[in-house]
């Protein structure tokens, strides 16, 4: 009898310790990505209707919806989902917790008056950037679709393909031979740590990748965000454009090799 109980316990421990599948690994098409985000938004709006939180105050589950919005959707799709949701006033008080603070890089200049930005975040005066081709902000990139050895994060902006609900999500289309545009972000770290890396890089030069953007001609190995699955790919940087002087963000034009 004891042996049977131990066997059951062992099985239970095995089930508990088994790693769960990546949260969004099953999302195979752009339409499935849209459906996932819409489902999470609807769930959170229903929860907010019941809990009645103060405007712009997050509730449990909001971070999951925001994570899906930024990871699964490419900019044009983000714009469509966002503007469709803005047609309903119940979405307005939840924008900050479900999407973030404006201005939003996925919106176009002509979308600037879609809502009053200060109603979402105090002090904000624009919903969209004046430059429609501006890189994503550091917060919008977040952990990105990919990362590299130096801890730099990369968000895929486009592979040049037109919107197709039946196509794979943009991060899954980073395949050999493709020309892609990515926004890269340097890891945030205290000055003391930066100084340590600079000193160590004198002996081990590749450590400096945590402090600088890749250069044209450089090949960079990228690892997929663990929430999306497990794979690696290599890009060859063709050109790079920093968001602004001293900005931790830059737009990267690359070829997948």
Q: Does 240 lie in the same domain as 148? A: yes
What pLDDT shows up at residue 249? 95
Same domain? 109 vs 146: no
Same-domain check for residues 183 and 101: no
Number of domains comprising the chain = 2
What domain range includes position 86? 30-119
With DSSP H G I counted as helix, E B as strand and the rest as coil, what are the percentages for the chain, rounded to 5? 40, 15, 45
Contact assessment for residue 233 and residue 256, using Cβ atoms and an 8 Å cutoff: yes
Can you give the pLDDT at residue 23?
Answer: 92
Percent of the chain with pLDDT over 90: 76
CA–CA dist 180, 142 (Å, integer): 19
User: Is the predicted pLDDT of residue 149 greater than 70, yes or no?
Assistant: yes
Answer yes or no: do 44 and 154 share one domain. Answer: no
Burial of 176 (0-12, 13-18, 19+ CB in 10 A): exposed
Has residue 131 been placed in a domain? no
Q: What is the pLDDT at residue 196?
A: 76
Residue 3 resides in a domain: no
Question: Are 159 and 103 members of one domain?
Answer: no
Residues 170 and 239 in one domain: yes
- Position 20 scores a pLDDT of 63
- Can you name the residues that pair with 182 across neighbouring β-strands? 156, 252
Final residue before a domain boundary, out of 59, 84, 119: 119
Higher-scoring residue by pLDDT: 205, 212: 212
Same domain, 86 and 149: no
Of 155, 136, 135, the C-alpha closest to 145 is 155
Cβ 256 vs Cβ 176: under 8 Å: yes
Portion of the chain with pLDDT greater than 70, in percent? 88
Q: Are residues 87 and 142 in the same domain?
A: no
Least confident range from 54-63, 186-195, 237-246: namely 186-195
Q: How many other C-beta atoms are found inside a 10 Å radius of the C-beta of residue 61? A: 15
Asked if 143 and 231 sit in the same domain, the reply is yes
Residue 14 pLDDT more than 50?
no
Residue 86 in tokens: 């803005």
User: Residue 205: what pLDDT?
Assistant: 58
pLDDT in tens, 162-197: 888 999 999 999 999 999 999 999 988 777 776 776
| Global confidence as pTM | 0.85
- Is the residue at 124 inside a domain? no
Give Cβ neighbours of residue 164 (< 8 Å, ≥ 6 apart): 30
Average pLDDT rounded to a whole number, residues 132-144: 92
User: Has residue 3 got a pLDDT over 80?
Assistant: no
Per-residue model confidence (pLDDT) at position 13: 47
């Amino acid at each position: 009898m004891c042996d049977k109980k131990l066997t059951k316990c062992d099985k239970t421990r095995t089930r508990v310790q088994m790693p769960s599948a990546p949260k969004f690994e099953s999302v195979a098409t752009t339409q499935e990505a849209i459906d996932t985000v819409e489902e999470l938004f609807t769930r959170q709006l229903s929860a907010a209707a019941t809990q009645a939180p103060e405007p712009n105050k997050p509730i449990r589950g909001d971070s999951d919806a925001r994570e899906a919005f930024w990871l699964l959707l490419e900019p044009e799709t983000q714009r469509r989902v966002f503007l469709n949701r803005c047609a309903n006033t119940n979405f307005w008080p939840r924008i900050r917790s479900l999407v973030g603070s404006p201005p939003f890089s996925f919106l176009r200049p002509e979308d600037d008056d879609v809502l009053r930005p200060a109603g979402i975040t105090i002090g904000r005066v624009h919903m969209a950037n004046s430059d429609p081709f501006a890189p994503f902000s550091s917060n919008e990139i977040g952990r990105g679709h990919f990362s590299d050895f130096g801890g730099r994060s990369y968000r895929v902006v486009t592979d040049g393909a037109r919107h197709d609900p039946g196509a794979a999500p943009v991060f899954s289309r980073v395949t050999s031979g493709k020309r892609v545009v990515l926004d890269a972000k340097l890891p945030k770290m205290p000055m003391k740590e930066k100084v340590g890396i600079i000193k160590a890089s004198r002996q081990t030069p590749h450590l400096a990748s945590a402090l600088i953007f890749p250069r044209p001609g450089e090949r960079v190995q990228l690892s997929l965000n663990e929430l999306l699955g497990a794979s690696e790919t290599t890009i060859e940087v063709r050109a790079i454009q920093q968001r602004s002087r001293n900005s931790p963000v830059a737009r990267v034009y690359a070829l997948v090799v």
